[in-house]
Amino acid sequence: MYKILTGIFLLTTLVFAYLWFDTTRSSEIDTFTRDAATSAVSELPFRIEDVTLSFESFHSEEDEKAKFYAETLLTRSLQQLTGNQRLLNAAERSKELEKGWFRDYSNELFKLRSVITTESFEDEESDKVKEITVALKQIHTDVQYIVEKDSFTVSDKEKMEALTETIRSFNDKFL
């Protein structure tokens, strides 16, 4: 009887230890969402470049029809700038990242979008156009430098903070 109870106890201990170990490690879905979020954030230099080009085009066009197309292009570029919000929210719910991980990053992107929107659609004759264009080109270079390193991943808090701070510096200049 003693051997049977000891065997059952040992077997139950092993099963519970495996179940505990299995729940503490991240699943393939968590890893996939983290990698997808890294990929989405890595596209930010291209999104900023699109915004820069469409912003320049919008403010340089004189022809009414061309200005309409430039306005449409700028609007789409601004939408794509913050278009990965659902993916970032899903990545935050994974076990690999903390809740609120992308909060500051997302807020700064929305502020950047707000600056461009204000200076383009609400104040079409803005005197800051050249200054914003230069700043957008600089932010593009800085973001590209941060994101294009092989070691970049969204789970690296220092790199995400550097990326957020780069965007914040632009926003502070124009808000």
- In the prediction, which pLDDT does 168 show? 96
What is the pLDDT at residue 123? Answer: 72
pLDDT tens digit string along 127-151?
A: 888 999 999 999 999 999 999 988 8
d(CA 159, CA 121): 33
Asked whether the beta carbons of 30 and 96 are under 8 A apart, the reply is: yes
Per-residue pLDDT of 157-167, as tens digits, reads: 999 999 999 99
pLDDT by residue (tens digit) across 31-74?
888 889 999 999 999 999 999 999 999 988 888 898 899 999 99
The whole-chain average pLDDT of the chain stands at: 88
pLDDT given at position 21: 66
Q: What is the pLDDT of residue 22?
A: 60
Got the DSSP string for 20-82?
HHHHHSPPHHHHHHHHHHHHHHHTHHHHHHHHHHHHHHHHH--SHHHHHHHHHHHHHHHHHHT
pLDDT tens per residue across span 12-36: 887 777 767 666 566 778 888 888 9
Instruction: Output the pLDDT for position 136.
Output: 95
Whether the pLDDT of residue 7 is over 90: the answer is no
Q: Give the pLDDT of residue 53.
A: 95
Provide the b/e sequence for 34-49 (b: ≥16 CB within 10 Å): bebbbebbbebbebbb
